[in-house]
Amino acid sequence: MLKAFDGAGDSAEAVVVDGAGLSRERLLGAAGAVAGRIAGASALAVLARPTVETVVATVAGLLAGVPVVPVPPDAGPGERAHILRDSGAPLLAVSAADRDAEAYGAQLLTVDPSERGQAPAEPSDDSGTAFVLYTSGTTGAPKGVVLSRRAIAAGLDGLAEAWAWTPEDTLVHGLPLFHVHGLILGVLGPLRVGGRLLHTGRPTPQGYAAAGGSLYFGVPTVWSRIAADEPAAKALASARLLVSGSAPLPVPVFQRLRELTGQAPIERYGMTETLITLSTRADGERRPGSVGLPLPGVRTRLVAENGETVPHDAESLGELQVSGPTLSDGYLGRPDADTGTRTADGWFRTGDIAVVGPDGFHRIVGRASVDLIKSGGFRIGAGEVEAALRDHPAVLDAAVVGAPDTDLGQVVVAFVVPRGPVTGEQLTAFVAERLSVHKRPRRVVLVPELPRNAMGKVLKQLLLQQC
């Protein structure tokens, strides 16, 4: 999986995290020292702060063939205890700054980036577990997603092809290191292709502008802030690719980035359980609101509630199901959850609603649980209404939910962050002029901001509680 280490002896800094750097040779030596101490462990939990220690510990686990379990640094005691207990990880890798921390619930293993050891050869069995990544737990305690070495290698190689990612690229991002986006794509990606990583610590417009990279990762919140900072955005004009993911990128932000940087951003789609399955291409069309085409080896289909296949006509909604080499091995110790997400013929049910055009381009409408609104016999995609609202010049951001209604079943409620004077009545009329009348919001709530998680996804369950 870390094939870029083969014969690597480059003394230049290959990984820089929040100002601290390591060459490939030093990273391999430090990881080798940790790998020697964890050999034979059932799993290695890693307190995943944005530090070089996190990178060293992650690489050590992969070299030693020990499953890595990233622990969010802001996890509360209950969540942290659940992850450690559920994963069975006996060790928690931390930096020296955290070695005196109490109540972690596991034996602490202090990572020293200056330490040196002989790195073992990577395991030859690519079906072994590389990571157990815990989901956000919106429907109960977080579940551990088991990701094999084979799936991760297939996912990274597919993205390298789609994005023409080479050893000449310097990747810049400031994303959390306990998710697929920031850790697997953002750390293992450059290590696998042989390029360089510059992690900014925090994803600020100023940090991105000063980095001088060729490839940038961000979530919509990051790109929105960069698009609002004209000097920072223009500083990215020399970059080769700007990649957005983890949540839909608002079309106005897409257009503003294209205006200021001279290029349209790449959008891609995936989940912890599937890794990245869809993306626009470096050498292809970059269409606003679209996540592009399946990666090599990935197949997709849209399925209606009655089980019938939905046509690819750019209009019909269906649940997106995927199949291919990037799928996870299921949920750790949760066969019940596996049963609920796998079809009889082996496809993964994403729970996302999408439309696919005749040309194969995919557009994600939203989650079936909160973004498919059934009102008066109509099926309404929340994402379509949100996009229409964002087209209004006085709207900065918007999120749409389906609130329970005794007459219609559900009604469309819009939560809007205004950028200027506007009323709910004006926004309702604006949407009705652009979409079918039944898709107009029945209620508009003006709010100062939308609740989001660390990856920029709107927490719609919190909005539903306000309806």
SS (H, E, C) 75-129: CCHHHHHHHHHHHCCCEEEECHHHCCCCCCCCEEEECCCCCCCCCCCCCCCCCCE
pLDDT 10s per residue in the chain (467 long)? 776 555 455 567 899 999 999 999 999 999 999 999 999 999 999 999 999 999 999 999 999 999 999 998 877 777 788 899 999 999 999 999 887 655 566 789 999 999 999 888 888 788 899 999 998 654 467 899 999 999 999 999 999 999 999 999 999 999 999 989 999 999 999 999 999 999 999 999 999 999 999 999 998 889 989 999 999 999 999 999 999 998 788 888 999 999 999 999 999 999 999 999 999 999 999 999 899 999 999 999 999 988 899 999 998 889 999 999 999 999 999 998 888 899 989 999 999 989 999 999 999 987 777 777 878 767 787 888 998 899 899 999 999 999 988 778 889 999 999 999 999 999 999 998 888 788 899 999 999 999 987 667 788 888 988 88
CATH number for the segment(s) 376-464? 3.30.300.30
What is the residue whose two structure tokens read 């697997």?
184
Residue 143 DSSP class: P
Report the topology of domain 3-187: Rossmann fold (3.40.50)
Please state, in angstroms and rounded to a whole number, the distance separating the CA atoms of residues 305 and 292. 24
Where are the chain's structural domains? 3-187, 203-367, 376-464
Please state, in angstroms and rounded to a whole number, the distance separating the CA atoms of residues 181 and 170. 16
Strands 144-148, 107-110: pairing kind: unpaired
Residue 276's Cβ-count burial label (10 Å; 0-12, 13-18, 19+) is: buried
Compute and round to an integer the Cα radius of gyration of the chain: 22
Q: Are 195 and 169 in contact (CB under 8 A)?
A: yes
Please state, in angstroms and rounded to a whole number, the distance separating the CA atoms of residues 213 and 208. 8
Fold agreement between 3-187 and 203-367: yes
CA dihedral (301, 302, 305, 308) positive or negative: negative
Q: Cβ neighbours of residue 335 under 8 Å, at least 6 residues apart?
A: none
Q: Cβ neighbours of residue 388 under 8 Å, at least 6 residues apart?
A: 430, 431, 434, 435, 439
Q: Is the domain defined by 203-367 classed in CATH 1.10.357.10?
A: no
**Taking Cα atoms as reference points, which of 305, 298, 330, 338 lies closest to residue 319?**
305
Q: What share of the chain is helix, strand, coil (3-state, %, to 5)?
A: 30, 30, 40
Please state, in angstroms and rounded to a whole number, the distance separating the CA atoms of residues 139 and 225. 30
